[in-house]
Chain A
Amino acid sequence: QVTLRESGPALVKPTQTLTLTCTFSGFSLSTSGMSVSWIRQPPGKALEWLARINWNYNKYYNTSLKARLTISEDTSENQVILTMTNMDPVDTATYFCARVRGSSYVFDSWGQGTLVTVSS
């Protein structure tokens, strides 16, 4: 059974750096064709893709946020970490991680999400 769970701070201050962890089970990120994506959703708004790390550890970012994002992995812990610098109140959102497989980027499992509020 594939599961993903997001964790991180519920509240960050403006200008701070956010670090979120996606802990997964039921698959290996090293398996060919596997990847993990981060997606966010501001309250009442649409989903927005942020970043992806592939089975071969290539990394891809939303071009509009690329300067602020870093995605990495800890294979030994089955974790994918996302950092976002210079947080602003507009970054308040629920952050999801999802397993993505294959060359057609099928999102086949999602975490429950974690709400991050940016406020002083």
Chain B
Amino acid sequence: NFMLTQPHSVSESPGKTVTISCTRSSGSIVSNYVQWHQQRPGSAPTTVIYEDNQRPSGVPDRFSGSIDTSSNSASLTISGLKTEDEADYYCQSYDSNNQIFGGGTKLTVL
């Protein structure tokens, strides 16, 4: 199995744009779709991006996902940051029949 590596934490000011990376350790990032899950403190995760760059209904278009083959990584970009975006964000992919989560990134909006 491969691993997904995320930065431990990022911080940015309200109204700004932040990007969270997710690097796949082996195999191509385009081999399997990547999802992104948001987890606010004390709550269950919710999916904000699926299939690399698709937004579930109800997720604002401030959230976007992308893939960079040169760095073998996926990214979650949140524009127009709001204080409500402060949360942990997890990337997730799969390999054969296993689901693999990244270690999570704590986003602080200050």
Chain A residues engaging chain B, CB cutoff 8 angstroms: 37, 39, 46-49, 52, 60, 62-63, 96, 100, 104-108, 110-113
Across-interface contacts of B100 in A (CB, < 8 A): 49
Across-interface contacts of A62 in B (CB, < 8 A): 98
Q: Are A107 and B1 CB-contacts (below 8 A) given A46-B103, A47-B104, A63-B98?
A: no
Tell me whether B90 and A106 are in contact (CB under 8 A). no
Q: Complex Cα distance A106/B94, Å?
A: 10
Tell me whether B47 and A106 are in contact (CB under 8 A). yes
Across-interface contacts of B43 in A (CB, < 8 A): 112
Q: Complex Cα distance A73/B43, Å?
A: 26
Residues of B in contact, count (CB < 8 Å): 25
Partner of A112, one of B35, B44, B92: B44
Interface on chain A toward B: helix, strand, loop, or mixed SS? Answer: strand
Across-interface contacts of A46 in B (CB, < 8 A): 90, 101-104
Chain B residues engaging chain A, CB cutoff 8 angstroms: 1, 32-33, 35, 37, 39, 43-47, 50-51, 56, 90, 92, 94, 97-104
Partner of B33, one of A49, A60, A96, A104: A104
Tell me whether B45 and A104 are in contact (CB under 8 A). no
Tell me whether B99 and A37 are in contact (CB under 8 A). yes
Tell me whether A52 and B37 are in contact (CB under 8 A). no
Tell me whether A106 and B101 are in contact (CB under 8 A). no
Across-interface contacts of B33 in A (CB, < 8 A): 104-105
Across-interface contacts of B92 in A (CB, < 8 A): 47, 49, 107
Tell me whether A47 and B1 are in contact (CB under 8 A). no
